[in-house]
Amino acid sequence: MNTDLWNGRKVLITGSNGYLGVELCSTLSMAGSNVVAVDVSKEIHSLLKESKNIQYNCLDLANTEGVKEILEKHRFETCFHLAANSDVSEMNRRPDIAFRANVEAAWNLFEIFRNYLNSCHIIFTSSNHVYGKQPLYPTSENSFFHSENIYGVTKGAADLIALGYARIYEMPITVARITNTFGGKFFNLKHLIPQTIKTLSGGEIPVIKGDGQSRKGFLYIEDTLNAIMLLAEKMQDKNIWGEAFNFFPDKNTSVLEIVQSIISVLGKVSVKPVIQEKKRPQNKVDIEYLCNRKSKEILGWEIKNSFPEGIKKALDDYEYMKLKQ
């Protein structure tokens, strides 16, 4: 982290009550940034109340006048646009909500910045979901989008809008295509890794809902936050405006391997996970595998935590959560 850049910097974080938003607000607050947190939730998250230098605003990004007022008042230097609805199943059921939350909100924010504060550096957080199934792996940033769910489609649309605004209007916007993140002091116990930790910690046997073959990428939250903050720091270089960057581990891992790794870290080597479905043909396996070469070569991004190291830290995070409950 470039502490000199963040100390005293005026930062806007949308989606501040979300998983990454809470952690990013806290991290930048500790770095001395003046953070304005925006979320549609009326109540500020408890972890944000513990942080200094955070001004919370309950605001729908579709409220053009409200967003304009905040921009004109604070004259932000950096904006992290994290706000989105990431519930994949729910978005498939309610595409109207998905388009409003993931496309219209992003477009409205970019348009307001274009007209009222086009000097602010904007980091748009996109997703590995935009790529969908690919003919070749690992997937580079210039690959076509093939998402087969509404969440991925809407994130992909906003991703392209962000890059379009950067290139057409010469705005300082970059895109971070991030992968699955785990750990931190505010994570969803329904997700694979925290759920597995909770199950094993309670003395129960983890159940894998599928066949365990799906291959994904997982980063400990510290590495994901370091990635998007590094991208923001590198935006002093205009050459990366209008560019997208993949943030993904060096290899992907099967769901079964992930569960087995957690079992090993917890020292419960005699436990055998239950696999609910039969093994699928190889050509039917879900694969996420993004190329991170661009992020490493251009930004100098490094992964600080191996998967086992991240799991050990996530265990401490889980204990912190239990104390707060």
pLDDT by residue (tens digit) across 33-50? 999 999 998 888 887 887
| CATH architecture of the domain with range 3-179+219-249+291-304 | 3-Layer(aba) Sandwich (3.40)
Reduced to 3 states, what is the DSSP secondary structure of residue 254?
strand
Percent of the chain with pLDDT over 90: 77
Q: Are 172 and 114 in contact (CB under 8 A)?
A: no
**What is the chain's percent helix, strand, coil content, to nearest 5?**
45, 15, 40
For 67-124, the pLDDT digits (tens) are 999 999 999 999 999 999 988 889 899 999 999 999 999 999 999 999 999 999 999 9
> pLDDT at position 323, please?
45
Residue type (1 letter), 231:
L
Percent of the chain with pLDDT over 70: 96
The token pair at 154 is 């809407």
Reduced to 3 states, what is the DSSP secondary structure of residue 140?
coil
Q: Are 173 and 110 in contact (CB under 8 A)?
A: yes
* Angle (nearest 5°) at CA 272 between 268 and 273: 110
User: Of 202-206, 217-221, 222-226, where does mean pLDDT reach its minimum?
Assistant: 202-206
Average pLDDT over the chain, rounded to an integer: 92
pLDDT at 185 over 90: no
> pLDDT at position 191, please?
86
Q: Where are the beta strands (DSSP E) in the chain?
A: 10-14, 34-39, 54-58, 78-81, 121-127, 173-178, 180-182, 207-208, 215-216, 218-220, 244-247, 253-254, 274-275
The CA–CA distances, whole Å, from 82 to 15, 73, 168, 225 equal 5, 21, 22, 12
Res. 170 pLDDT band, cuts 50 70 90: very high
Counted residue by residue, the chain has a size of 325
Domain boundaries, the chain: 3-179+219-249+291-304, 192-214+251-289+311-324
The CATH H-level superfamily of 192-214+251-289+311-324 is UDP-galactose 4-epimerase, domain 1 (3.90.25.10)
What is the rounded CA–CA span in Å between residue 294 and residue 132? 20
This prediction has a pTM of: 0.94
